[in-house]
Amino acid sequence: MSTPDIVLTRIDNRLVHGQVGVVWTSAIGANLLLVANDAAAKDELQQELMTATAETAGVGIRFWTLDKTISTIHKASARQHIFLVVKTPADVLTLVKGGVPITEVNVGNMHYSDGKEQISKKVYMDQADKDAINGLIDAGVKVYIKDVPEDKEQVLQKF
C-alpha cells in the first residue's frame, strides 16, 4: 500500500459545486475529485451534477462511500493528485480513524440549521460538529476555515 497524494481535504456541505470544482481544484493542482459521502455515492442525479462541474475543471471525479474510501484510497496511483471532499467533520474523523492519511482539513461551507451556532461567515456548527473537530485536532490534524484560496486561514483550536 502506498500513501495517496491527498493535496487537500475540504468539508463542504454542498460537496462539489463551482467554487470547489473549478476555483479550488485549479489552485491546488488536483486532477481527481474524490467525494467521500455515503449518500452521494448512491445518488445518481447528484453525481451527474457534480460530474458536470468536474468536467468543466478538466478533472476526474469519483463518488465513494466512507468505507470504500478507507479501503481503497491507498491504491491510488502516484499520478493522482486527490482533492478529497466530504460533507461533515464527522465524515473526516471517520476517514482519519480508518487510516486515511489526512494531515489537514479545510473547512469551507457548513450552512446554518437549527441548533448550530455561527463560527465564521459561512461556517455553523453544533456540538457534534465541534466534538468531531476536537477529535481531529486530538489526532494531530490541522483544521482551518478558508472559504477561497486567497483567503487567510483561520486555524481552529479545540472547542
pLDDT tens digit sequence for 62-107: 999 999 999 999 999 999 999 999 999 999 999 999 999 999 999 9
The pTM assigned to this predicted structure is 0.95
Give the per-residue pLDDT at 17.
87
pLDDT tens digit sequence for 20-47: 788 999 999 999 999 999 999 999 999 9
Report the C-alpha gap between 27 and 77 in whole angstroms.
Answer: 21
Residue 1 has pLDDT above 70, yes or no: no
Name the grid cell of 32. Answer: 481527481
Give the per-residue pLDDT at 85.
97
Residue 137 has pLDDT above 70, yes or no: yes
**Domain ranges across the chain:** 5-155
CATH superfamily of this structure's domain 5-155: Phosphotransferase system, sorbose subfamily IIB component (3.40.35.10)
Name the average pLDDT for the chain.
95
Residues serving a catalytic function are 17
Residue 57 has pLDDT above 80, yes or no: yes
Of 79, 4, 78, 77, residue with least CA distance to 36? 4
